[in-house]
Each structure stands twice: as structure tokens, then as C-alpha cells.
């Protein structure tokens, strides 16, 4: 039975099942890198980083560690599966969101299947950068809502530190990124009023070049880079037009949260907890102010972890849940914006 209801902003389809988050977990490397540590590598300082981004420290995988996006993702996933009261054999599908996969191909999802010794379930990688976890939840939600799968594992993980430009040249980008992973298990519920109420996804590819790692790619392949031996070639480091991205982020965050609220006949005052993607504390504060939310209605942890991209919402959601900030029936809103540009929101009744 499928009920369809139309809304002013978005089409919302009501299915027989909803998906709800039954398990959460996260993992970050032990190695803490402070702003003062960064100041020893490049021309930056604690005051600038804190004032512009709110970040005090981040975790970077130390040299010699076996951690990678998939390894960290597996660590977070084990916790999430256990907390869901399930075993790896109960998982029907894997969704892995990352911009820093271990390999160009195959993706990290299949590595999770192997590392967790799972059945030969399907596994896909989602390549939507900072919006990756929101996109991943949406993909998982659709599979559960249609009745195809019962339990889907969604992972967001990033190994940024291995690919950053740690010289003065890279300071505008490098200081914001951290490593880590978060995971959620989504399970079927027959209660239509609980769990993921709706998801809202968007993209605008004309801005792809404003936040990009351009190489190596099929267009700009490794032998070509090596042959050119051009130390000024920055194409394999992340490039970000920070101010441009910032300006778009604050508009899109607002838009997509409004879209999600309206689709569910909710208002900002109904939000019990907003977890924005942790891109910049100033962006989160702007969004908080725009919706008139109190400090208790928003959760930020960028101060400790930096921007962990596809992992950031998963880590923050897990941490907020562990701290008892999410209660039964709470309206929890997740929202993200990032490279692509891509953006999205998830509206949950816990
Ligand atoms: N330390 C000290 N000075 C610095 C640093 C640094 N680490 N980085 C840049 N500066 C300098 C610049 O050179 C510039 O100096 P100038 O005025 O002499 O030219 C000055 O500081 C200001 O630089 P801006 O780039 O204008 O700084 P801004 O205030 O815009 O902050 C930041 C930069 C933090 C990156 C901000 O623009 C931002 O957060 N943008 C949005 C990020 C985001 O949302 N990304 C999306 C998700 S990421 C993803 O999807 C992968």
C-alpha cells in the first residue's frame, strides 16, 4: 500500500514501512593535532583558525597506522551493529559515503563486506562529499521504505590527512579537515510516524570547480603528473574557493531545512536537535541564528574534530546520542552542504 501526499515544497510519499536508526557508532584516530601543531608546519596560528572556523583540534591518522577510510569505517560499523542488537549477518546492504576512498576503485563498501566477514550483500559507495552521509541515509531509507531490505548499514568515513597540502600554500584548506568515521544501522519499522520522515537532496554541478580535487583522474592521470614533474601542480590537493562556498552554504542550509520542515508540517520551534554538517562553526552559528534555535537545539563538535566531511554528521549524531541529547519522539534534523555543490536534509522523529 502506497499513500501519496503532495506538499507545497516537495512531494512526500508515504510507504508501508519507515526506516529508523537503531544503532550508531563512531571511531576517530587517537592522534590529536592542535592548531599549534599546524602552526609548526605552515604559516597559520591558533587565533586565525579558531576565529574563522571554531576548530581547536582535529584527529589525523598517524604515520604507520593501518587506519584508512574503510578500516575506520569498519570500526565504527561494528559498534553501530552491536548497539542495534544485530549481528553482521542481519545486515542486508551497505552504503559507504566518502570522498577519500582507499582506492580509485573498487569502493570502500565492498571492503566493509570483507572486513566484517558479511554475507555477499550488495555494497555501494556514495560520492557526495560533505553531503555524503545525508545522501547515504536517503539511499538506505528508500531501500527500507520499499520493503526491499530490513537492515541497512550506512557509513561515512574520511582519511583526509594523507592527501592535504601541509605547506603554506595549502593553509586555507588543510587546517579545516580531520579524519574519522561514523556509522548508522537503519532498520525497518511499521510505525509511519517514527524514524526517517523524509529526505531532501539537491545538486548544482556548475559549481564543481569551486571545491575539488582534480587529480589524479582519468583526465589528469598519474604518469602525466609525474612526467610533468611540476611542483606547482596543485591539482591533486583539495582546492576550495572558501568564501564562495561559505556564501552558498548558508543559503542552501537554510533552504533545505525549511524544505524538510515544510514537507512534514513542522516549524523551527519543533526541532529538538539540529545536527548540521560540521564545515565551519560560523556556518552552524549562522544557521542557528536564522532559525532562532537555542544552544540546546543544535549540536556542534567541529571544535574537537574539524571537518570530517562524510563522517561529520555520523560522528556528531553518535556523540549527541551518547550524551543523552536525543530522546524518544524528538524531531532530529540533519543538514549538509558541500562539494558538487550538493546539499540535503533528513527529518527524523526519533
Ligand atoms: N591561517 C592564517 N591565515 C590564513 C589561513 C590560515 N590557515 N588560511 C587563509 N588565510 C588568510 C588568507 O590568505 C587571506 O589573507 P589575505 O586577506 O591577506 O589575502 C585571509 O586569511 C582570509 O582568507 P579567506 O579565505 O577569505 O578566509 P575566510 O574567512 O573565507 O575563511 C574558510 C576561510 C574557513 C575556509 C571559510 O571560507 C569557510 O569555512 N568556507 C566554507 C567551507 C565549507 O563549508 N566547505 C564545504 C564543505 S567541505 C567539502 O565538501 C569537501
Residue 176 CA, ligand 1 centroid: distance in Å: 9
Residue 199 CA, ligand 1 centroid: distance in Å: 30
Specify which residues 272 forms β-bridges with.
none
pLDDT in tens, 110-133: 999 999 999 999 999 999 999 999
pTM of the model: 0.95
Ligand 1, atom 30, residue with closest C-alpha: 243
User: What is the structure's pLDDT at 219?
Assistant: 82
Determine the Cα–Cα distance for residues 346 and 332; give it in Å rounded to an integer: 8
Provide DSSP, 120-151.
Answer: S-EEEEE--GGGHHHHHHHHHHHHHHTTS-SE
Ligand 1, atom 44, residue with closest C-alpha: 279
Indicate if ligand 1 lies below 6 Å from the C-beta of 52. yes
Residue 164 CA, ligand 1 centroid: distance in Å: 15
Ligand 1 atom at minimum distance from 339 CA: 50
Residue 53 CA, ligand 1 centroid: distance in Å: 8
Determine the Cα–Cα distance for residues 34 and 133; give it in Å rounded to an integer: 26
Indicate if ligand 1 lies below 6 Å from the C-beta of 309. yes
User: What is the structure's pLDDT at 12?
Assistant: 63
Is residue 210 within 8 Å of residue 106, measured between CB atoms? no
Q: Is 326 helix (H, G, I), strand (E, B) or coil?
A: coil
User: What is the structure's pLDDT at 235?
Assistant: 82
Separation of first and last alpha carbons in the chain: 24
Q: Which of 211, 174, 199 is nearest to 348 (CA)?
A: 199
Indicate if ligand 1 lies below 6 Å from the C-beta of 302. no
Indicate if ligand 1 lies below 6 Å from the C-beta of 207. no
The rounded mean pLDDT for the chain is: 94
Indicate if ligand 1 lies below 6 Å from the C-beta of 271. no
Ligand 1, atom 20, residue with closest C-alpha: 172
Ligand 1, atom 37, residue with closest C-alpha: 242
From 42, 45, 49, 52, the mutation candidate for ligand 1 (largest count of ligand atoms within 8 A of CB) is 52
Q: Which of 13, 50, 23 is nearest to 35 (CA)?
A: 50
Ranges of the chain with pLDDT below 70: 1-14
Q: Which residue in this structure is represented by grid cell 552491536?
A: 82
pLDDT in tens, 30-73: 999 999 999 999 999 999 999 999 999 999 999 999 999 999 99
Ligand 1 atom at minimum distance from 279 CA: 44
User: What is the structure's pLDDT at 3?
Assistant: 39
Q: Which of 137, 135, 140, 147 is nearest to 15 (CA)?
A: 147
Indicate if ligand 1 lies below 6 Å from the C-beta of 48. yes
Determine the Cα–Cα distance for residues 199 and 39; give it in Å rounded to an integer: 40
Ligand 1, atom 47, residue with closest C-alpha: 338
The alpha carbons of the chain give a radius of gyration, in whole angstroms, of 19
Contacts (Cβ under 8 Å, ≥6 apart) of 133: 97, 154, 156, 182, 277, 310, 311, 312, 313, 314, 334, 336
Can you list the domains of the chain with their CATH numbers?
18-192 (3.40.47.10), 196-349 (3.40.47.10)
Q: Which of 126, 129, 99, 131 is nearest to 344 (CA)?
A: 131
User: What is the structure's pLDDT at 51?
Assistant: 98
Active site residues: 130, 277, 307
Amino acid at each position: 500500500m502506497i499513500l501519496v501526499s503532495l506538499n507545497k515544497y516537495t512531494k512526500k510519499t508515504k510507504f508501508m514501512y519507515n526506516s529508523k536508526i537503531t544503532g550508531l557508532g563512531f571511531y576517530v584516530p587517537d592522534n590529536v593535532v592542535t592548531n599549534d601543531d599546524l602552526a609548526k608546519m605552515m604559516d597559520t596560528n591558533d587565533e586565525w583558525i579558531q576565529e574563522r572556523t571554531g576548530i581547536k583540534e582535529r584527529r589525523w591518522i598517524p604515520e604507520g597506522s593501518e587506519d584508512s577510510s574503510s578500516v575506520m569505517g569498519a570500526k565504527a560499523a561494528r559498534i553501530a551493529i552491536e548497539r542495534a542488537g544485530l549481528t553482521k549477518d542481519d545486515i542486508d546492504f551497505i552504503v559507504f559515503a566518502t570522498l577519500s576512498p582507499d582506492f580509485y576503485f573498487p569502493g570502500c563498501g565492498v571492503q566493509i563486506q570483507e572486513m566484517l566477514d558479511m554475507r555477499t550483500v550488495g555494497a555501494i559507495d556514495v560520492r557526495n562529499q560533505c553531503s555524503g552521509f545525508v545522501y547515504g541515509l536517503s539511499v538506505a531509507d528508500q531501500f527500507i521504505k520499499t520493503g526491499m531490505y530490513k537492515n541497512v548499514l550506512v557509513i561515512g568515513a574520511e582519511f583526509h590527512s594523507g592527501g592535504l597540502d601541509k605547506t603554506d600554500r595549502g593553509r586555507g584548506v588543510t587546517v579545516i579537515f580531520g579524519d574519522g568515521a561514523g556509522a548508522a544501522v537503519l532498520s525497518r519499522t511499521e510505525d509511519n510516524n517514527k524514524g526517517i520522515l523524509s529526505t531532501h537532496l539537491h545538486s548544482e554541478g556548475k559549481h564543481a570547480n569551486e571545491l575539488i580535487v582534480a587529480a589524479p583522474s582519468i583526465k589528469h592521470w598519474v604518469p602525466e603528473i609525474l612526467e610533468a614533474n611540476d611542483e606547482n601542480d596543485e591539482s591533486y590537493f583539495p582546492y576550495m574557493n572558501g568564501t564562495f562556498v561559505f556564501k552558498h552554504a548558508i543559503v542552501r542550509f537554510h533552504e533545505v531545512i525549511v524544505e524538510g520542515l515544510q514537507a512534514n508540517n513542522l516549524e523551527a520551534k519543533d526541532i529538538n536537535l539540529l545536527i548540521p554538517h560540521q564545515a565551519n562553526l560560523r556556518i552552524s552559528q549562522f544557521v542557528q541564528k536564522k532559525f532562532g534555535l537555542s544552544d540546546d537545539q543544535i549540536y556542534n563538535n567541529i571544535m574537537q574534530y574539524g571537518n570530517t566531511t562524510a563522517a561529520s554528521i555520523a560522528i556528531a549524531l553518535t556523540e549527541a546520542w551518547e550524551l543523552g541529547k536525543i530522546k524518544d519522539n524528538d524531531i532530529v534534523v540533519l543538514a549538509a552542504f558541500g562539494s558538487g555543490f550538493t546539499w540535503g536534509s533528513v527529518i527524523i522523529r526519533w
